[in-house]
């Protein structure tokens, strides 16, 4: 099934500690967001890209999308103060798509095979996400800095994007969020909160979100590895 993707890039990138929104930082000479756009531009099953930018970066983001040849990103929309607000503004543009994906602008390394596996699952389940098994042991810690409990690692997965939805499932989740004021840190959590089922599709560890300066070093290493694999 074909899909439309919403790409939120309207954050401030505070943890990256750069002078600009991290979406504009470059990897091998191209802005992070251009790398991300290229993945979906190249996927024949992606019908449309809705890029979400902050109000004061709309023109810059539009120009960048054009320069990157991202013809599917024909509309850049203004985001909001929280990620959930930004995604919602973007999703409103494409609720008529057969399937809807949400993918972080700051996650440029998602593999097309994983996207297609996710689509298949979302078609069946209504909502699905890519995730990887947790590698660290995760502790729940109280306000005083004391461990409350150690969570069972074999049951823990780190959520990634894309997260995929049948549009009516996302619509219902938004209705629930409106009623209750629920705020999630990812998109499928709205479906979970509304009592819906969410399926997990195993992703890969290269699909990192560029969050801190150290991630930029890791990103260059991932690109170098790929260039090596491609024999260039
Ligand atoms: N995002 C958005 N609108 C917001 C907040 C975040 O569109 N109000 C986007 C970011 O641009 C990013 C993605 O959501 O592509 C994932 O968020 P995150 O990694 O937290 O990015 P930032 O919020 O920009 O970074 P930070 O939290 O460090 O400030
Ligand atoms: Mg953030």
pLDDT, residue 53, reads 98
All structural domains of the chain: 3-229 (3.90.550.10)
- Lowest mean pLDDT of 79-83, 201-205, 211-215, 225-229, name the range: 225-229
DSSP 133-171: E--S--EEE-TTS-EEEE--GGG-EEEEEEEEE-HHHHH
How does the average pLDDT of the chain come out, rounded?
97
Mean pLDDT of 110-114: 98
Distance 22 CA to ligand 2 centre (A): 11
- Band of the pLDDT at 231, cuts 50, 70, 90? confident
Distance 112 CA to ligand 1 centre (A): 23
User: Which atom of ligand 1 has the smallest separation from the CA of 12?
Assistant: 24
Model confidence at 232: pLDDT above 70: no
Model confidence at 31: pLDDT above 90: yes
pLDDT, residue 187, reads 98
Q: pLDDT (tens digit, 9 = 90+) per residue, 37-89?
A: 999 999 999 999 999 999 999 999 999 999 999 999 998 999 999 999 999 99
pLDDT, residue 230, reads 86
| Residues, beta carbon < 5 Å, ion ligand 2 | 11
- Lowest mean pLDDT of 37-41, 197-201, 228-232, name the range: 228-232
- Band of the pLDDT at 143, cuts 50, 70, 90? very high
Query: Is 203's C-beta closer than 6 angstroms to any atom of ligand 1?
Result: no
Distance (Å) of CA 10 to CA 48, 61, 128: 18, 10, 23
Mean pLDDT of 1-10: 97
Q: Are the C-beta atoms of 164 and 119 separated by less than 8 Å?
A: yes
């Amino acid at each position: 099934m074909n899909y439309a993707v919403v790409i939120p890039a309207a954050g401030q990138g505070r943890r990256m500690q750069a002078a600009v929104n991290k979406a504009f930082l470059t990897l091998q000479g191209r802005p992070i967001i251009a790398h991300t756009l290229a993945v979906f531009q190249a996927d024949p099953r992606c019908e449309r890209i809705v890029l979400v930018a902050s109000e004061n970066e709309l023109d810059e983001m539009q120009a960048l999308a054009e320069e990157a040849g991202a013809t599917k990103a024909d509309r850049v929309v203004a985001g909001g103060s929280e990620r959930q607000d930004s995604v919602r503004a973007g999703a409103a543009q494409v609720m008529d798509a057969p399937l809807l994906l949400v993918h972080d602008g700051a996650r440029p390394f998602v593999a097309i095979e994983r996207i297609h596996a996710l689509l298949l699952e979302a078609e069946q389940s209504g909502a699905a996400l890519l995730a990887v098994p947790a590698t660290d042991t995760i502790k729940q810690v109280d306000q005083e800095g004391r461990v409350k409990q150690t969570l069972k690692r074999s049951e823990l997965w780190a959520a990634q994007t894309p997260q995929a939805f049948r549009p009516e499932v996302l619509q219902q989740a938004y209705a629930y969020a409106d009623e209750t004021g629920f705020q999630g840190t990812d998109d499928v959590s709205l479906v979970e909160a509304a009592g819906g089922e969410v399926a997990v599709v195993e992703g890969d560890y290269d699909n990192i979100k560029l969050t801190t300066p150290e991630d930029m070093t890791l990103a260059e290493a991932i690109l170098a590895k790929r260039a090596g694999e491609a024999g260039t």
